[in-house]
Amino acid sequence: MRSGKWRWVSARATGTSHQRRNAPCDDFGTAFELHQDGESILVQAVSDGAGSASHARIGARLACCAVSRALRQSLSQKPLAEISDEDITGWLDEVRDRIAHAATLHQLKPRSFAATLVCAVVGKTCTIVAHVGDGAFVYRKRGGLWRIASWPSQGEFANTTHFVTDEVLPAIAVSRISGRIVETAIFSDGLERLALAFDTQKPFEPFFETMLAPLRKSRGNGRNRLLSGHLRSFLDSTTVNARTDDDKTLILAKRVGVG
């Protein structure tokens, strides 16, 4: 059995605005490792269902599951470094097709499942990030500062964004990062005000240094369930809820054996 090269924590929490309405969390996130020709590849995806969409929670789950399935298929046919923009557009088409099918079954329009999507595929020396809407993927190379792959996308009006279900195919922010990434974080827009410095459009370093500290001290690989439980409690804490009333999803990852 091949040993994993990453350890991570993941959690989500329902925003207080949703709790007041007895509404469920509309976020969804996933993380897993793939192995390709001896290379370990970390896949992470986070989706935030639109608060105005009746089936947003389902849309977010479908977006993460569909993009995961699509990129698995791509990586079964070619190395990560050879993934093209056309391949990535195909991933989004798969997401839209899955949601359209679900909408047909429910006799609804796809906009009833509106959701954003941030997906990162991290290889040994090559990383690809596909981003539609808000939320973000940030990363750090060995000895370097935290950097953001692409800034959250805002819609035409205040407090709006773009969704994978938009009637006109939404623009995909594709980032290709060369070199070896050692730590990552991917999150929904509920954490943007804590995790990003909007005046400089950069990651807020103290947030990530604090959040990664327990993971850096931990051992093993794969998802750390204990620390994920602690992260879930933090996301639902008074400290966080005082800053944001939205749903929150966060996945933090560290490459094993690399500082």
Q: Which residues contact 187 (CB under 8 A, 6 or more apart)?
A: 46, 135, 136, 195, 248, 249, 250, 251
May I ask the CATH architecture of the domain 6-255? 4-Layer Sandwich (3.60)
- What is the domain partition of the chain in residue ranges? 6-255
DSSP letter string over 100-133? Answer: HHHHHHTT--GGGG-B-EEEEEE-SSEEEEEEES
**Considering the chain, what percentage of its residues have pLDDT values greater than 70?**
96
Cβ atoms of residues 48 and 249 within 8 Å: yes
| pLDDT tens-place string over residues 211-229 | 999 999 999 999 999 999 9
Band (155; pLDDT cuts 50, 70, 90) = low
pLDDT band for position 3 (cuts 50, 70, 90): low
Which contiguous run of DSSP H or E holds residue 67?
helix 56-75
DSSP, res 225: H
The mean pLDDT value of the chain amounts to 94
Q: Which amino acid is at 214?
A: P
Confidence of residue 189 (pLDDT cuts 50, 70, 90): very high
CB 11 within 8 A of CB 25: no
Question: For the segment 105-128, what is each residue's pLDDT rounded down to a tens digit?
Answer: 999 999 999 999 999 999 999 999
What are the tens digits of pLDDT across the range 53-81? 999 999 999 999 999 999 999 999 999 99
